[in-house]
Structure 1
Amino acid sequence: MDLQPALSLRLTRVAGHTQRVERITEFLQNFHIQPDADIEYFAEAFVGNRLAGCAGLAGNIIKCVVTDLPWRGINLTARLLSVLEGFALRNRISPLFLCTRPENIGQFRQCGFWPLARDGDRAVLMENNPVGLQHYCRQLSQYRQPGEKIAAIVMNANPFTLGHQFLAGLAARQCDWLHLFLVGEEGSFFSYADRLTMVSRGMAHLPNVTVHGGSPYIISRATFPAYFLKETPVVDQAWCAIDLILFRDDIAPALGITHRYIGSEPFCPTTRRYNETMHTLLAGKVTVKEISRIASHDGTAVSASEVRRLLAGRHYDQLRDKVPPTTFSYLEAQHIAQPVSP
């Protein structure tokens, strides 16, 4: 009679466990996988002292799910995911996402994950909540507005610059309504709360704009990780596609969005590739309007990265030339050191 091997499972925190992580990295490299730098935990499965499989967790994203050949077919993947799901449940991390190849859909369906968006035969994004996306779109539909031209902009606003304000103002003037989505992930120079405040104040003068808070379904670490892992040398086209497919097929219909406005991207290759993909994938369903960036008085294109550099260098006079008064006032109150009276 064949007996299943005795397995042991454990959860390893990446920080402070260098030797364990090195062993996991070597294991993954045998399968030509390099773990992302943002993975915080690994579930590990052992047969004796031999590592038989692992699965990583970065925030609410499951990555690097691999089982060694001798132990495939014994439901090891489900057991690894169960370890991560138990940890997520205890720490109120929800929902969980993973991206895999389409041929693995059946395997992960058995583990309680449902497909959200698929890029041909390259990749599929899955979630452990079968109705999460539908629930989000139902919430969005409450903000639907009448009109023939309904625009959308997605921005990180790190921080909110004159360039952001110009693009949003143009969209609001040219369309009946503008839905402005703010990237919800933390990890930027400015916190999400800071960015939301600056955007809300900078758009308050426009009556036909709705500012939407962050969502895991639009430019997040789940849908478009390359945006947040800028050190990655090659931008995976599949990530761009998955994020845009979700926007095209689910988010845009929920709000009746007909146009998406983007600024030209002379600096960041990741964003530039994303914009190029947008023109292709949204064609025929959502009109993409790419607008040239405005320049400041010195002739350089306004960018959030330049604003951050000026803020760090305390070049406040130059900073005024690149951000709206509402942003400058907020930076002045929250981030610019005030002189101390003698």
Structure 2
Amino acid sequence: MFDLKLQKINLKNQYEKNEVYKFLEEFGLTLDKDVDYTIVLRDINDNIQATCSKAKNVFKCFAISEDIRGENVTSSLISNLIDKLFEEGIFHSFIFTKPDKVKVFNSLNFKTIHEVKDAALLEYGIYDINKSLDDMAIKYSIDNSIEKGALVMNCNPFTEGHRYLIEQASKSCEKVLVFIVEEDKSLFSFKHRYAIVKEAVKDLENVTVIPGGEYIISSATFPSYFIRKEDEKLKAYESIDCGIFGKYFCSKFNIIKRFVGQEPYCNVTNTYNQTLKEIMPQYKVELIELERKKYDGYYISASKVRELIKNDKIEEVRNIVPEATWNFLNSHEGKEIAGRIKSSNSPH
């Protein structure tokens, strides 16, 4: 660490950001758009020799010059990020990295959660995935002795199509767990999405709606900095997410069936379903793909709801959403979200 000084980058300063961009480019890496904290190590000539960043509690965008490797540089960078998280009251973190870097982070007390061909996910902190799922079982009274079906949904917002898939699962399984993606990367916040789904399926006595937690990963937060090709990035994300669900969720909660809707419109979701078909059987889980519910000749989807809202056809939305969703859309908060959809270039 001789003659190296640690500096926090001002991410609002384009010159400083460009310095980091250029340094990362030397390693074939990029600076992810969602980073909220970046540090660098500079030499006596003020040149960047190492950098790393974080986005909330995900560490990313690591690069270290060949000249200074082996001088505990990684440890110094990681310690700084962990200290920063502690300042923010966060005591658990993740790293997505290349498989050949796993041993380095293992030596710094990061535990490997899952590893695939092009990426690995590790964690560090006061709990791990097994403890998290044990706590989830207690909080939501999950009886692990009962075989179950499961669905993972975003519900942005919840539609009659979502309701139909859950109904079909509830008819074929003694117990069904519905995991709602918890990351707030959607127009409808997790708080609202979760509350709407709970209300909309409360009549289905064998269905339990559960927050997905940190381990059901959104493609929106999967890092792109070390995988440049979009198809490879997507495959790595899908393989990690599906693998974690099979390896941990299914084995822990005795899930033997996972239900998904066929995807006639979105190529990304369709390839995700194909990955599920490859991976779920490895964990003795049957992947059941159901044809989606139709209305007036088209498949019901959350994107269709947002499209109707954007085009000022709110009354038509009533035909394809449950009462719980309709009531929310007519609330003060729901109308605010509708306003944002109308003013956006493309509803997400």
Q: Normalising by the residue count of structure 2, what TM-score does the alignment of the two structures yield?
A: 0.88
- From 69, 72, 96, the counterpart of 2:69: 72
For 2:260, which of 237, 249, 262 is the aligned residue? 262
After TM superposition, list the pairs within 5 Å mapping 1:200-279 onto structure 2: 200-220=198-218, 225=222, 233-234=230-231, 235-279=233-277
Within-5 A mapping of 1:275-286: 275-284=273-282, 285-286=284-285
Does the 8 Å contact 2:219/2:237 carry over to 1? no
1:58-207 → structure 2 map (5 Å cutoff): 58-119=55-116, 121-129=117-125, 131-142=127-138, 143-145=141-143, 149-207=147-205
What is the Cα deviation at residue 220 of structure 1?
A: 3.8
Whether the 8 Å contact between 1:183 and 1:220 is mirrored in structure 2 is yes
CA distance in 2, matches of 1:74, 1:84: 18
Of the structure 1 ranges 155-164 and 133-142, higher mean CA displacement relative to structure 2 is found in 133-142
How far apart are residue 63 of structure 1 and its match?
A: 0.9
Letter in 2 for 1:37: K
Q: Is the 8 A contact 1:78 1:111 kept in 2?
A: yes
Look up the SS of the partner of 1:258 in the other structure: strand
**Separation in structure 1 between the aligned mates of residue 271 and residue 41 of structure 2, nearest angstrom:** 38
CA contact (8 A) 1:117 1:246 kept: yes
Q: State the alpha-carbon separation in 1 of the partners of residues 252 and 23 from structure 2.
A: 43
Preserved contact between residue 92 and residue 126 of structure 2 (Cα < 8 Å): no
Which whole-Å CA distance do the structure 2 matches of 1:146 and 1:109 have between them? Answer: 31
SS in 1 for 2:335: coil
Indicate which of 312, 326, 329 corresponds to 2:327.
329
- The count of corresponding residues between Structure 1 and Structure 2 is 327
Q: Percent identity?
A: 28
In structure 2, what is the Cα distance between the partners aligned to 1:288 and 1:189? Answer: 29
Hey, what's the Cα distance between the residues in 1 that align with 2:188 and 2:266? Answer: 18
State the secondary structure of the residue aligned to 1:282. Answer: helix
SS in structure 1 opposite 2:150? strand
Contact 2:92–2:127 (Cα < 8 Å) also in 1:
no
- Tell me, in whole angstroms, the C-alpha distance in 2 between the residues paired with 1:226 and 1:155: 21
Query: Could you say which residue in structure 1 is the equivalent of 2:289?
Result: 290
Alpha-carbon distance, 1:99 to partner: 1.4
CA contact (8 A) 1:95 1:128 kept: yes
Secondary structure, counterpart of 1:206 in structure 2? coil
Tell whether 2:11 aligns with 1:7.
no
List gaps (5 residues or longer) in structure 1: none
> Partners of 1:314 and 1:252 in 2: how far apart?
42
Relative to structure 1, the CA distance from residue 148 to residue 214 in structure 2 (aligned partners, 3 Å threshold; closer, same or farther) is closer
Is this contact kept in 2: 1:113–1:128, CA < 8 A?
Answer: yes
Secondary structure at 1:157's aligned position in 2?
A: coil
> 1:31 maps to which residue?
27
Contact 1:55 1:64 (8 Å CA) reproduced: yes
Alpha-carbon distance, 1:321 to partner: 1.5
State the 1:221 CA deviation.
Answer: 6.2
Q: RMSD value over aligned CA atoms?
A: 2.2
TM-score normalized by the length of structure 1: 0.90
Following the alignment from structure 1 to structure 2, what is the Cα–Cα distance between the partners of residues 146 and 214?
A: 17
Q: How far apart are 1:126 and its partner, in Å?
A: 0.4
Q: Which residue of 1 aligns with 2:53?
A: 56
How far is the alpha carbon of 1:12 from its aligned partner? 2.3
Residues 140 and 255 of structure 1 are in contact (CA less than 8 Å); yes or no, is this contact kept in structure 2?
A: no
Partner of 2:346: none
Question: 2: CA distance between counterparts of 1:117 and 1:45?
Answer: 30
How far the C-alpha of 1:295 sits from its partner, in A, is 1.5
1-structure distance, mates of 2:223, 2:9: 25
Contact 1:13/1:40 (CA < 8 Å) preserved in 2?
A: no
User: One-letter code of the match for 1:238?
Assistant: A
- 1:147, 1:176 within 8 Å by CA — same for their partners in 2? no
2:39–2:53 Cα contact (<8 Å) kept? yes
